[in-house]
Structure formats: C-alpha cells, structure tokens
Amino acid sequence: MEKILLVDDETNIRLFYKEVLCEEGYEVLEAESGKESFDILRREPIDLVVLDIKLRSESGLDVLQNLTKEFPNLPVVLCTAYSSFQDDYISWLAEAYIVKSTDTEELVKEIKRVINKKRRAGGDTLITKVEMKKKEDLQIVSKTTYC
C-alpha cells in the first residue's frame, strides 16, 4: 500500500482528501505545515506528497523547493486553489499541478499516474535520507572485520 503525505493548512481539506485517498486504497499521513511535513518525511517512508501552495505560515513553493533538495526522488503533486501559480518555474518541480475542487477525480487520476510512473521506474517505496543513513551505517558495520 502506497503512503501519501498530505500537506495542507486547512483541516477540512485534509480530512476530505484523506477520506477520498483512503477509499482509493492509500495510507495517508497529514501535515499542516512544511516543518511538520519534514518531520514526518525524516522518520517515515513516503511514496508521494500532495502539497498545497498557500500554507498559513509559509509558501508551499518554498516547501516544494526544499523537498526536492532534500528528497530528490520523492514525487510531489501540487494541489491548490490558485491556477495562477502554474506559470511559476518553481511549480515545475512538481510531478503534477491540480486546482482544488470538490470533484477529486483529477487529483486521484494524477496520483495514480505519478505512482504508476514511479513503479515503472523500479521504485517500490521511496526511502528517506534517514533510512539511507541507517543502511549505510549497517553496511559499514557489516564490512568491519575483527581479528
């Protein structure tokens, strides 16, 4: 089961999208800020992020830019009430750009497309840098020989 991180400062939007995505068979975690999303990403393997552009205390585009720096293989779908940000070059870092609607068909379609693209590329579950560091530490320990 793929794990999606839903980042939106509006509680009702998160609840609505979480219900829809859970019905589609996804596990959904929620964050209301960029800081909270990074806290989750550093401890949980996440397959995809759905990110709002206008967050309460920060720009979702800044969050997107930082996400792509720290987690370059993590696909992000921007989901916002504003179509005007599509022309912002930072939004091009996202795999998809969706305008929020009560009709979730386009959101679900894009999430499926992005996840299928990741599967075809051979990525089963994306791992976080924390997990990669743990694996590196284990490899270092396993390569150590004692006399």
Mean pLDDT (whole number) for 114-141: 59
Topology of the domain covering 3-143: Rossmann fold (3.40.50)
Mean pLDDT (whole number) for 34-49: 95
77 neighbors 4 (Cβ within 8 angstroms): no
The pLDDT, as a whole number, for residue 123 is 55
Asked if pLDDT for residue 136 goes beyond 90, the answer is no
Cα pseudo-dihedral 30, 116, 63, 59, rounded to 10 = -80
The pLDDT, as a whole number, for residue 2 is 93
Average pLDDT taken over every residue of the chain: 81
Mean pLDDT (whole number) for 30-36: 95
Least confident span in 9-23, 36-50, 77-91, 118-132: 118-132
